[in-house]
Chain A
Amino acid sequence: MSNEKKTLLVVKDLKQHFPIKTGGLLNKKIGAIRAVDGISFEVKEGETLGIVGESGCGKSTTVRSIAQLYRPTSGDVIFEGLNLCEAKEKELVLARRNIQMIFQDPYASLDPRMTVRSIISEPLVVFNKRGLLDKKLTKLEIEEEVERLMERVGLNKAFKNRYPHEFSGGQRQRIGIARALALNPRIILADEPVSALDVSIQAQILNLLNELQKELNLTYIFIAHDLAVIQHISTRVAVMYLGKIVELADSADLYDNPAHPYTQALLSAAPIPDPEIERKRQRIILTGDVPSPDKIQPGCYFQARCPKRMPWCTCHVPPTFDLGNNHKVACWLYDEKDYSKISKEEAQADADKNKTEVK
């Protein structure tokens, strides 16, 4: 279905490592947090890519790197043919017009010292001042645009002289959405836009985002850790674990046939509205801790908690296997070869052999 559509954004082997430093004058680098560790995906025009994963797995870092709030350590982010990671300041600013963000915390993402009007008009004012808009806007035109945006996201335009603290969380998130829409972007990176809100208001905001998408042909990258929310809004879903994408599939496909053991565990933990099924089903309980993201693992990053771990997994990093139907998964269970019979020693010997070959 999405095959006919144009590819808007390509992320290739994106890495974002935050150096751990000693601090002090010498400030030696003693390691790195591998917050995002080599992820690749494509986003097609008009679709919604959901990203799920537990806290700290690098979801926010991914979108911030795409938006170039952090300069990625390596890898490419290609938006409409322009590689943002190598783009010059000017090109980047122009591209920013098309890539806007909605933030998780509606309380922290709005400057408490600014009126709603100045918050929503800020992107316009910034671009207007730099002369990057198609034509220079007058104050009045900006004013009108602000009013139009406020009405579009369901805010009373009479509130434009108010300060953010006078609004409820849902209203604030609407302000944030209006700000993101101001420059008429092509793609919106939404970093958990609803997780700070009440459930009833979550639905309102999700519906608003849906409407806007249809109306303005927007593309979303949508982060959430609530699987129900992701299912509701996304066309495709990427599951992240420890800075890597472990499974990427169309939304319906992922929910029906989760392939990766991590995804299976996540889905088994999500409540099901039908009490009959809810009672009968088996939960997969994950044990163990998430390993620290500052170490390079020799094998599968999920092995410490994986219920289906094989000896082979402890020393071989799984590549991405295509299951057909756009379903990709990074797990040795899906290779053609059956690894379950291979003993620990054999696996280790194979890994050592590979290492020396590389050397």
Chain B
Amino acid sequence: MKEDIKNKENAATNEFDQVVVGNSLTKDAWKRLRKNKMAVVGMVIVILYALISAFAPLLPLHDYDEIILDHQNLGPSFNKTAGELMMENKKKELYFKAWKDGSLVLTEEQSALIVSWIDESKTNSVWNLCLEEGEKQLAAGTFTWSSSDQKTLDKLQKKIDEDIFVDITKIYQGDTNLKKLDSDSLAKVYATMIGLDDTTLILEQTYKEMDAFVFNTIEMDADVKKNLSDEEKATIIDKEIEKLGDAYFEEKLAENLYGKINAQVLRDVTKILENESEEGTISFPYKDTIEVDGLTITVSSSLVNQRHYLLGTDYSGRDLLSRIIYGGQISIMIGIIGTLFSVFIGIVLGALAGYLGGKVDYIIMRIVDVMYGLPYMLIVIICMAIFGRSILNLFIALGIVSWLTIARMVRGQIMSLKNSEYVEAARSMGAKTWRIIFKHMIPNSLSIIIVYSTLRIPSFIMQESFLSFLGLGVQAPMASWGSLISNGVASMTIYPWRLIFPSIAMTLFLFAMNFFGDGLRDAFDPQSKNQL
């Protein structure tokens, strides 16, 4: 105990009267792990990934699902803003067009080069050369934009300078948050906003929308649905609404009205801010409250084209960095939850088989054998096809096919422990079965289970990626490393960063996890070469 260590007289000493400090297996393992450089590096990286994923909402990232069509496929850049990149892209296009018209004159070799690049579809090289040469000639005065091109460029410049992005965080009426109001009050607010005296019209419209919404959610054969008469429709809808309950309906109604108000407010606020920005009376990024139609609105706004995209954007103008981080969140989560799920099933079935033995063991192990024989990915794909694509189904599908190895391992472990002398010793002193399982068997199998689990996580991530790659994994706007990579592959020659960055992120993590897992395995094995 602690007092013993403090009290030197009682401390453990060897024959030379030196105090010997004890160490446990776990401490020992930790020491061995620390000696393994790669494993430590792996562990640090894994922890870093975990922290970034866990605290992603706190990081100054753009929303991972915010689509800005103007920002499609922008390249990665440290110092250039989105606007500058847009301008560059536009110029590349125009210079190339100018070269084709003949207004941009290049040397013979350059032209020949371009022609050969086009044949090899090296689009990026063509554009870069055109841009470089064009800029040079423009500066030297040997090239001028045609008037229509100049107009396009000016317009783009104006847009880049002026486009603002408005985000409404909160809407208050006096002291109450509009989100907390019920549908009637919201309808009144909306009525005054759009200059109506009473709310009947609005409510009528909203009810209609609600009916349509409810009708859409009803599951029914599409053909039958189409051919319903109006009365039939009305009764079905009424029934469904009754089923959903008043509270739910009211909630949806309020949501709908809030959405309307929000859209209206957004329009108004954007107009106000645009005007002010033209007059030069505000500076961006802007964060303040604005009064509109008697509502107090908390707004944050920025010049959308001033953004920086460190890792570029994807085909819908979404920030790749943010998508990689949020995608990592999902991938890692799938890795962990899938592993927990399969380890849980595996431990329960494996322990049952190992401890009970006999017929139970035989049946469980034959099931395992049969499932081993089946093509694993095919089962997952069939499951996903039957039960539909959702993350939950993905977990389940991966879970039900991946408990096999762990079940075998746990079974073997429990069986060998069952005959070990220390378990016999425990039995000979009258220990009950549960005590033997919990005090002896589980603690002694835990290390291999932990190690196996860490090695299992990367394989889950790979499987998820593979499924996403086939289009069976997570769906947009959500991302996972696999889906990002699969999107990136489609356009890898023109927009290579869309493939490279997610791949690097994933590969690094998998490497780190594997090194860490290997390190753990060696560390927990007291006979490993890596002795202290």
Interface residues in chain A, defined as those with a beta carbon under 8 Å from any beta carbon in chain B: 23-25, 27, 64, 67, 69, 92-93, 96-97, 99-101, 103-105, 108-115, 122-123, 126-127, 130, 132, 156, 158-159, 161-163, 165-166, 176, 179, 183
Asked if B177 lies at the interface with its beta carbon under 8 angstroms from chain A, I say no
Asked if B428 lies at the interface with its beta carbon under 8 angstroms from chain A, I say yes
Check B362–A109 contact: CB distance below 8 A.
Answer: no
Check A111–B428 contact: CB distance below 8 A.
Answer: no
Asked if B25 lies at the interface with its beta carbon under 8 angstroms from chain A, I say yes
26 A-B pairs with C-beta separation under 8 A? A23-B362, A24-B362, A25-B359, A25-B363, A69-B424, A69-B428, A96-B430, A97-B430, A100-B429, A101-B425, A101-B428, A108-B420, A109-B421, A111-B422, A111-B439, A112-B25, A113-B25, A113-B440, A113-B443, A122-B429, A126-B431, A127-B430, A159-B12, A161-B1, A162-B12, A163-B24
A122 CA to B422 CA in the complex, in Å? 11
Chain B residues, Cβ within 8 Å of A99: 428
Check B359–A27 contact: CB distance below 8 A.
Answer: yes
- Smallest CB-CB separation from A106: which chain B residue? B421
Asked if B10 lies at the interface with its beta carbon under 8 angstroms from chain A, I say yes
A123 CA to B427 CA in the complex, in Å? 10
Chain B residues, Cβ within 8 Å of A115: 24
Chain B residues, Cβ within 8 Å of A112: 25, 444, 526
Question: B255: shortest Cβ distance to chain A, in Å?
Answer: 55
- Other-chain residue from A67, A158, A165, A176 in contact with B10 (beta carbon distance below 8 A): A158
- Other-chain residue from B11, B24, B430, B526 in contact with A130 (beta carbon distance below 8 A): B430
Chain B residues, Cβ within 8 Å of A127: 429-430
A165 CA to B422 CA in the complex, in Å? 14
Chain B residues, Cβ within 8 Å of A64: 424
Question: A112: shortest Cβ distance to chain B, in Å?
Answer: 7
Check B22–A179 contact: CB distance below 8 A.
Answer: no
Contact status of A103 and B429, CB under 8 A, knowing A158-B13, A161-B1: no
Mask of B35-79 contacts with A, CB within 8 angstroms, 1/0: 000000000000000000000000000000000000000000000
Question: A137: shortest Cβ distance to chain B, in Å?
Answer: 15
Chain B residues, Cβ within 8 Å of A161: 1, 4, 22
A to B contact number (C-beta, < 8 Å): 94
Check B440–A183 contact: CB distance below 8 A.
Answer: no
Chain A residues, Cβ within 8 Å of B13: 156, 158
* Chain A contact residues: helix, strand, loop or mixed: loop
Asked if B435 lies at the interface with its beta carbon under 8 angstroms from chain A, I say yes
Q: Which of A25, A93, A113 has the most CB of B within 10 A?
A: A113
- Smallest CB-CB separation from B9: which chain A residue? A158
Mask of B6-45 contacts with A, CB within 8 angstroms, 1/0: 0000111100000000111100000000000000000000
Check A123–B429 contact: CB distance below 8 A.
Answer: yes
Asked if B195 lies at the interface with its beta carbon under 8 angstroms from chain A, I say no
Chain A residues, Cβ within 8 Å of B422: 108-111
Check B430–A126 contact: CB distance below 8 A.
Answer: yes
Check B25–A165 contact: CB distance below 8 A.
Answer: yes
Question: B365: shortest Cβ distance to chain A, in Å?
Answer: 11
Check A111–B12 contact: CB distance below 8 A.
Answer: no
Q: Which 9 A-B pairs have the closest CB atoms?
A: A158-B12, A109-B421, A123-B429, A93-B430, A113-B443, A108-B421, A111-B422, A162-B22, A103-B421
- Smallest CB-CB separation from A162: which chain B residue? B22
Chain A residues, Cβ within 8 Å of B430: 92-93, 96-97, 123, 126-127, 130, 132
A123 CA to B13 CA in the complex, in Å? 27
Chain B residues, Cβ within 8 Å of A130: 430
Question: B461: shortest Cβ distance to chain A, in Å?
Answer: 31
Check A96–B428 contact: CB distance below 8 A.
Answer: yes
Asked if B358 lies at the interface with its beta carbon under 8 angstroms from chain A, I say yes
Chain B residues, Cβ within 8 Å of A110: 422
A231 CA to B85 CA in the complex, in Å? 95
Mask of B353-379 contacts with A, CB within 8 angstroms, 1/0: 000001100110000000000000000
- Smallest CB-CB separation from B5: which chain A residue? A161
B414-428 contacts to A (CB < 8 Å):
420-422, 424-428
Contact status of A103 and B424, CB under 8 A, knowing A93-B430, A126-B435: yes
Question: A294: shortest Cβ distance to chain B, in Å?
Answer: 20
A282 CA to B440 CA in the complex, in Å? 51
A338 CA to B498 CA in the complex, in Å? 100
Chain A residues, Cβ within 8 Å of B420: 108
Chain A residues, Cβ within 8 Å of B358: 27
Chain B residues, Cβ within 8 Å of A183: 429
- Smallest CB-CB separation from B363: which chain A residue? A25
A202 CA to B226 CA in the complex, in Å? 92
- Smallest CB-CB separation from B420: which chain A residue? A108
Chain A residues, Cβ within 8 Å of B24: 115, 163
Check B25–A163 contact: CB distance below 8 A.
Answer: yes
A132 CA to B421 CA in the complex, in Å? 24
Check A100–B428 contact: CB distance below 8 A.
Answer: yes
Check A159–B22 contact: CB distance below 8 A.
Answer: yes
Question: B198: shortest Cβ distance to chain A, in Å?
Answer: 76
Chain B residues, Cβ within 8 Å of A24: 362
Give 13 new A-B contacts, CB below 8 A, not counting A158-B11, A161-B4.
A24-B362, A25-B359, A108-B422, A109-B421, A111-B426, A111-B444, A112-B25, A113-B25, A122-B431, A126-B430, A158-B4, A158-B12, A159-B12
Chain A residues, Cβ within 8 Å of B4: 158, 161
